[in-house]
Structure 1
Amino acid sequence: MAAEMIIVNAREEPPDGWDAAVFLAGPAPRSPEVPSWRPAAHAELRERWRGGRLVVFDPEDRKEVLFDYAGQVDWEERCLNLADEVLFYVPRDLETMPAFTTNVEWGIWHDSGRVVFGAPPGAPKNRYLLHYAEKFGVPTATDLPGTVAATLDRIGSGAARTGGECEVPLLLWRTAAFQSWYGAQRAAGNALLGARVVWRFGDQWGLRVRIRVAAEDRIKDDEMVISRPDLGVVVLYRPGPTLDATTVVLVREFRGPAATPDGRVHEPPGGSGPAGGADPLRAALAELAEETGLALPADRLREHGSRQVNATMSAHRAHVFAAEITEDELAALSSGGPHGVAADGERTYVEIATFGEIRRERLVDWAALGMIAEVLTESGIGEG
């Protein structure tokens, strides 16, 4: 697709689709005699853009029109949320371009994960903004070409989106978790009509969505989709004469959301650490070694498929694996610890319990109980 750039000025309606969208945030001149920096930004973007359709949201008026303050504020809020990247350029001049509103916008967006900050070295009163740019790893530049280049570098070639898809920024659109969820919705014939990022923390996010439910011919508003990277989980067990007498390996760890008598979670070892990347088996093996100290070769694990863990709220899945362990391995697991990645504040302890104890003493949550039951019943333990 040939490169195309569309400029959407203040209070104008955006097109129905694009590959990337940029909002030009920064001060506007207080009088017509003072030149704006935004035309030069248009030229830089047009020269450097190599993707498909790029939409540029410019909060300055295209021509002299009757100013509508409330309409302007609403338009800016809408288009800031539509943008894949918010390009902040702050050539502040306290007389002609004081950038008071820009300071507020920066305070809202600086930790969103989709901003770039630029300012000439001599522009005053930017120290505080630059401090937070450094703190949150925001790319910075000292001139407009560098700011534009940093913005487009983050966008890359973008991704084609139409309709409600345009309300999902590239930051989320490119994640495996979003694509897995959205792929399932599309396969069911449902259509995304709107979305708004509510929060983002690292690789976890919450999205408020509006969806047309094809099977029911209705629109469902204000659905909340929460997600994180998929989990790789390992159920280690030592068969007993019955299902309830089968030994299972758990890990105990403090987690803030735990509402258990001891304030900690009890579950099979697993997680989604960076060692796993997009490979659930690799993640499962890495988490097993980190949380229990037991390193197993990949061929020791059996795959039991994947399911959502809490489908009423979170889109992520748990990929469950299992391994039958030896008496020696069980004995080794019973000693030592704690385990975990200390640098990440992770501290785990191995727990050994029979399946009967896990059920009767309610040691695990329903999701973990289901994973364990699936593995043990599929393994044929207690049959005949």
Structure 2
Amino acid sequence: MGADLDVVYAREEPPDRWEAAVFLAGPTPRSPEVASWRPAAVAALRERWRGHGRLVVFVPEHRHGVHDDYVGQVEWEERCLHLSDEVIFYVPRDLATMPAFTTNVEWGMWHDSGRAVFGAPPQAPKNRYLLHYAAKSGVPTAGDLPATVAAALDRIGAGASRTGGEREIPLLLWREESLQRWYAGQRAAGNALLGARVVFRFGNHWGLHVRMHVAAERRVKDNEVVFGRPDVSAVVLHRPGETLDETEVVLVREFRSPCVNGFVHELPGGSGAGAPSEVALGEVEEETGLVLDAARLRAHGTRQVNATMSGHRAHLFSARITGGELARLRSSGPHGLAADGERTYVEIAAFGRIRRERLVDWSCLGMIAEVLLEVR
């Protein structure tokens, strides 16, 4: 499919499929005698778009210059801002003809969305505050319109084909492996994404308010947020005792803000690049100081950790450790990756104590029980 560009003006209905979408945010002239900057932006996008497929450009100006429904205009802009992969803020502010008061509000709402680029001529007044927050939020900036457009298209790349409710997932999230894995599972079950709204994104963690058609029940469910993050690998390091309750398990204690008492006991584990088993070995060394040979690692399968809230999974492994290793672990100091603010302390407890004293949460307890029941 060749490159194509569709312009959608105010109050017009967006197409049902595209590879990328941008919104041209910024001041609109108050008088027909003042030329809009947006036609030049559309021309620059048309010239520079190198993706294979459709680029949709949302222009919040009426095709025929008629603005007759303020509330409808605002609602259309809100909808199309959320549909956009990139929001191009270009602010050639003129206090007499284009004061950009509404633009200031929109910038405040979108500057830290991960989807904004900002441009303004050097002589445009009253943009210092906006530029300050562009720098603080890592927003690409430029001093002219062509460079601003180029910054947006650089992040879009070739785009990605989306249709229906998929259009509401912006490229910055669409490209996340964890999102694609969750969505592939939904499609395999016959379910359809009717709508979505990004509620937060922090690094590779995200939250998406979704509207799903549930095929098996022939109904629509729209009252849940799906949380996502990369999969984790967790390892049960154990030393068998005479009974199941006397089997000793290596835990790590670490401060975690969501934990109601601050510190949580959990299994060595985490996420990272590489195969799950490689991640498992690396996390054991990082959080306990124990270096394991890959041949000692036993796989126990993969499951979601909290299927009512998060789409991520845990890859479960175990290793039987020696008495000497257990003794060294008992006397080891704090570990963790300091650059990530991580500090872990090794604590060893018998399975019976773990259960009685409720040292771990339900998901961790289940992983420990799965391993110990399987290896005995």
For Structure 1 versus Structure 2, the TM-score category normalised by the shorter chain is over 0.9
Q: Deviation string for 1:192-227 (max 9, x for gaps)?
A: 000111112221111111111000111112221111
Match of 1:88 in 2: 89
User: Is it true that 1:270 corresponds to 2:266 in the alignment?
Assistant: no
Q: What amino acid is the match of 1:136?
A: S
Match of 2:203 in 1: 202
Q: What amino acid is the match of 1:321?
A: F
Identity %: 74
Match of 2:162 in 1: 161
Please state how far the C-alpha of 1:2 moved relative to its aligned partner.
0.8
Q: What amino acid is the match of 2:30?
A: R
Equivalents in 2 of 1:37, 1:337: separation in Å? 62
Please state how far the C-alpha of 1:77 moved relative to its aligned partner.
0.4
Match of 1:368 in 2: 364
Q: What amino acid is the match of 2:115?
A: R
TM-score, normalised with respect to structure 1 = 0.95
Which piece of structure 1 moves more, 212-221 or 276-285? Answer: 276-285
Please state how far the C-alpha of 1:298 moved relative to its aligned partner.
2.9
User: Is it true that 1:297 corresponds to 2:308 in the alignment?
Assistant: no
Equivalents in 1 of 2:97, 2:181: separation in Å? 49
Match of 2:38 in 1: 38
Equivalents in 2 of 1:121, 1:239: separation in Å? 71
Secondary structure at the aligned position of 2:332 is classed as coil
Secondary structure at the aligned position of 1:256 is classed as coil
Equivalents in 1 of 2:283, 2:105: separation in Å? 42
Please state how far the C-alpha of 1:66 moved relative to its aligned partner.
4.4
Equivalents in 1 of 2:293, 2:278: separation in Å? 10
Match of 2:346 in 1: 350
Change (3 A) 1:189 1:41: same
Please state how far the C-alpha of 1:278 moved relative to its aligned partner.
5.4
Please state how far the C-alpha of 1:279 moved relative to its aligned partner.
3.2
Match of 1:171 in 2: 172
User: Is it true that 1:186 corresponds to 2:182 in the alignment?
Assistant: no
Match of 1:139 in 2: 140
Match of 1:61 in 2: 62
Q: What amino acid is the match of 2:237?
A: L
Q: What amino acid is the match of 2:267?
A: P
Q: Deviation string for 1:83-102 (max 9, x for gaps)?
A: 01111111111111111111
Q: What amino acid is the match of 1:41?
A: A
Equivalents in 2 of 1:2, 1:222: separation in Å? 39
Match of 2:280 in 1: 284
| Structure 1 residues without counterparts, runs of 5 or longer | none
Equivalents in 2 of 1:132, 1:298: separation in Å? 47
- How many residue pairs are counted as aligned between the two chains? 375
Please state how far the C-alpha of 1:241 moved relative to its aligned partner.
2.3
Equivalents in 2 of 1:305, 1:128: separation in Å? 52
Equivalents in 2 of 1:144, 1:346: separation in Å? 43
Secondary structure at the aligned position of 1:220 is classed as strand
Equivalents in 2 of 1:368, 1:111: separation in Å? 35
Please state how far the C-alpha of 1:306 moved relative to its aligned partner.
1.2
Equivalents in 1 of 2:67, 2:40: separation in Å? 25
Q: What amino acid is the match of 2:294?
A: A
Q: What amino acid is the match of 1:88?
A: F
Q: What amino acid is the match of 2:105?
A: V
Match of 2:18 in 1: 18
Change (3 A) 1:281 1:127: farther
Equivalents in 2 of 1:278, 1:113: separation in Å? 26
TM-score, normalised with respect to structure 2 = 0.97
Match of 1:251 in 2: 252
Secondary structure at the aligned position of 2:148 is classed as helix
Q: Deviation string for 1:244-288 (max 9, x for gaps)?
A: 11111000011111124xx3110101112xxx2253233222222
Change (3 A) 1:36 1:198: same
Equivalents in 2 of 1:179, 1:62: separation in Å? 36
Q: What amino acid is the match of 1:313?
A: M
Equivalents in 2 of 1:315, 1:232: separation in Å? 15
User: Is it true that 1:311 corresponds to 2:307 in the alignment?
Assistant: yes
